Structure 1
Amino acid sequence: MDNLNARKKKVVERTVLLLALCAAAALFTLSVPLYQHYLSITYPKSNVYGTWVEQDVARYSAETFTLGPAGVSIDGGVVDTKYSFDGTYVEYQIGDKERRYLMLNESFTKMKLISQPHYQPVFHLSENVKNNIR
């Protein structure tokens, strides 16, 4: 009789453990999209819409790109339709290369390219284009 009770107790313990593991996995699976939704509400992509211009280089050689509802555009052509913005970083892909920028101020008008270790230029949001988009 004691052996039967011990087996039943082990089955109950294992069932409770399995349910706890399933609940933890479900919670983790749901937390990622919820966090992404929170970031999209807290830091909307419209905060960084506009044309970004490389600073401290000659005007004719300055890199520029535009962030907007359609994605990332360079010289009028869309290079990526998806980009992420979490209040600290802007990230997008050009081909197989990732471009990652660090925001340098709270007004989201200045950022630094950090995905290239050898060259990290600073970009400013062009005010005349920003005013036309918003």
Structure 2
Amino acid sequence: SNIDLLEDLLAQTPDSLAGWCDENQVDATRAYILSKQAVIYWHQRAVTSHIGNLRFVTISPSAVSTGILDDFVKAFGPMVAANLARVGRSGTPEEVARVMAFCLSPDASWINGVDVVTDGGMGAMAMMAERNGDKAG
């Protein structure tokens, strides 16, 4: 679990962050992953302070057809390429927006403190592929 690391990351100031990243060997790819985890953790932690007043929901899309998709595939290499091949396509911004719209609607009023993974099943497929010995998983 990264909870201690995330707590430490969230305690950093703008002036201390670069040193913290050096000390913890955080390269660009790891920074992306940790920043997503930190946002999710921060929201889940905030739920306990705001019960009944606010809802906290994060959305975690996977590969989405935007201008940065090629860079995303390059940064994460064979893993993302394999996931895209399994699903057959990337997601669209509109698909992610519809999930966001639902989470903001009264129909989602009981959803709080969760991360909604919008990846077309990529995460599940990758987990099963890894479990079955596919290292590109």
Question: TM-score range, shorter-chain basis?
Answer: under 0.3
Which has more strand, going by share of residues?
1
Q: Please report the TM-score for the alignment, with normalisation by the length of structure 2.
A: 0.21
Q: Please report the TM-score for the alignment, with normalisation by the length of structure 1.
A: 0.22
Which has more helix, going by share of residues?
2
**Based on CA coordinates, which of the two structures has the bigger radius of gyration?**
1
